[in-house]
Structure 1
């Protein structure tokens, strides 16, 4: 691969997820007119959030969840290869594909994502996971009316799959060791409201962890029997693990790149090899002061890292981004969060609630100095949008106005 000091003539993006797609789009938007190829083993890149929502429910098909139609790539002269990279070959100036072909590249972007984390217990291989379109297809077949479904992990994916399973008429048991799940992400009051919705929709929630997945008993006809740490058991026709992902770092490690629970990159996405960049779920950011941040597995974070890497590959400054944001859907409600709601990250902070009666609608985390650090809200997208502007501008909002349901969110950011 050529030195980063030279303008790239050819760029290969490894991975057809949103990080890779965002890099492709950003490269062309910034005027890069060299050869541009994306390795996407599943064909045209597609969006993954619908796999646990609309696509799983059958309201969106494979074509609808594509990140762009085939014409988009043709118009921008982007070659989509349904091939898998098996090795980086820096000395030979390229990437080895699974068919043995060596694809030349001046810059490589690793946007390979991660693999679903497996249950490391006896019988854990029996659990289904969700990461690809094929995984979602398999889940849909399992979520039959009357089927008993055990879901391990009540985070975003587990909760969304539980919601879909109930919609299909399945009987669901949701297992997680934390009560309530997602408190660091959305604040404890909103987390409790969201988790309580499972019981309201007929989902049985259990605070424990599985220690074994055994064959089901003949008397109840279920295929699997989960033994939990508290001594109880759960019979299930299907078991689903929604416990996060493991970053795909094999290519990077084999090529000698720095790896630590992800491929380590700087703010421009460059790895320890100046011709190789990384973005998305498999990347992990090291700040200029040496601090190594935790990986982020959210959609917007993948988009941003792809855009930053695109700028970096062209030798341009990384774009500036505002506070991080994510969203989720479950049981007919939409939740969004921006910034941080984890008080452990801000000593002296306090939480302000906006509620209707006793039902929390939004939660805000304020620093000791009164600055807004984060906001989470249920079915209040304008509130989150306003909170994002407040955070990005470094404003100190009136806590009473934040808490008052009568105050229009748009007034808060003025």
Structure 2
């Protein structure tokens, strides 16, 4: 029997987002006692989802969104360095990173958890659009979200919809622009996506289907900006916000010669093309066991829980251990006082012959959709999306993870206790 691999004496984690913090937490949970450092340019690691929710609304402060208070890092012997890595030397067995203040940190292993960068509007005047990715971004946006402000949000996905909800509740005059009629259709399924999208109008948010072509200097109604659409229509704006997703932050990895293709290419344990370098979170893209990059209909996982799992898996990989088995993917979104979530996949395009089973609030065909289930042709549950139905989603997750073939009639019946669906 071969001896287990030697544990690294020191590990440096680049990035204080959810993947980086989850990796540090998991390393200590697995008994790692070596030197552990997190490079977090913004200071103590914090959670990003509240930035478009409670933090933007002012109901949560900077202390509330921290993953852990300062004392946790002392208790777990984790050093946090508020510096940014500008270069990575991955050429040997003892890699190092150069910091923006000129210091060089060497370590036995390095984990890249550099996250993603907000996509910018690649149109004339696109530089005028604000984005929301960091706490500083949220602070800047909150200062201009004043009653009566004309706010144009480009992108009606998760972030765009949540910003629209917050801006409307703060008294803004909000217009939400997206190139497709039904944003979140593949993520939530048609029925729940329609219910969620209709909530914008119910809360005074104007929705426009169109493709922005330029942000011009405004002359109409004394607005500082005019968002010009490709079909010639225009929308006056005091503030323009771009919520069109993220791109993986791979600059340091690419410069160091790691394999990168729409993300740092990693194995299921976070391993990269360099033996001493691992990567996790939004900056990565996972290879299949046959070494084929996930492509086509598959996407880079960009949700919060996926980043947690990625960090945990990379922590195991750093120690030469097997990562835990994870179940069906899950995400959530809060807007207009409701909690939407989905587990598995609701994209029927990925499964020929799949059908949707709908659970309405009152059990009638014309009732308000509360949950939708996507069933494969053989009866397997592929996914579930719901609004304010956490027990239903939890049951659906158990059904998917255990491979249970559910009864469609029970799924559709709102009188059936969700806790009994997985039995």
With the shorter chain as reference, the TM-score category is over 0.9
Out of 79, 97, 100, the residue aligned to residue 98 of structure 1 is 100
Deviation at 1:290, TM superposition (A): 2.7
Q: How does 1:109-120 map to 2 (within 5 A)?
A: 109-120=111-122
Distance (Å, rounded) in 2 between the aligned partners of 1:10 and 1:267: 22
Indicate the SS of the match to 1:220.
helix
Name the residue aligned to 2:272. 271
Deviations along 1:306-337, one digit per CA (max 9) or x if unpaired, are: 00000000000011000000000011100010
Counterpart CA distance in 1 for 2:95 and 2:188 is: 45
Q: Does 1:305 align with 2:310?
A: yes
Gaps of 5+ in 2: none
Q: Match of 1:36?
A: 36
Shift in Å, 1:228: 0.3
* Structure 1 residue aligned with 2:123: 121
Q: TM-score, normalised by structure 1?
A: 0.98
- The 5 A counterparts of 1:317-336 are 317-336=322-341
CA distance in 2, matches of 1:171, 1:222: 13
Show the counterpart of 2:138.
Answer: 136
Which stretches of structure 1, 4 residues or longer, exceed 3 Å deviation after superposition? none
Task: Please state whether the residue corresponding to 1:191 is helix, strand or coil.
Answer: helix
TM-score w.r.t. length of structure 2 = 0.96
CA distance in 1, matches of 2:166, 2:373: 29
CA distance in 2 between partners of 1:177 and 1:89 (Å): 42
Post-superposition shift, 1:287? 1.3
Deviations 1:94-131 (A, max 9, x none): 11111111101111000010110000000000000000
- Contact kept, 8 Å, 2:95 with 2:109, in 1: the verdict is no
Q: CA deviation at 1:369?
A: 0.4
Deviations 1:216-238 (A, max 9, x none): 11x51111001001211000000
Report the equivalent of 2:63.
63
Q: Distance in 1 between matches of 2:263 and 2:199?
A: 34
Tell me the alpha carbon deviations over residues 352-406 of structure 1, each in whole angstroms, 9 at most, x when there is no partner: 1001352100000001100100000000000000000000000110001101111
Tell me whether 1:107 sits opposite 2:112 in the alignment: no
Q: Does 1:17 align with 2:17?
A: yes
> How many residue pairs align between the two structures?
410
Per-residue deviation at 1:5?
A: 4.6
Moved more, 290-299 or 204-213: 290-299
Structure 2 distance, partners of 1:93, 1:397, is 51
Alignment of 1:389-408 (within 5 A): 389-408=398-417
Provide the residue aligned with 2:281 in structure 1. 280
**How many Å apart are 1:83 and its aligned residue?**
0.6
RMSD: 1.0
* In 2: Cα distance, 1:340 partner to 1:388 partner: 11
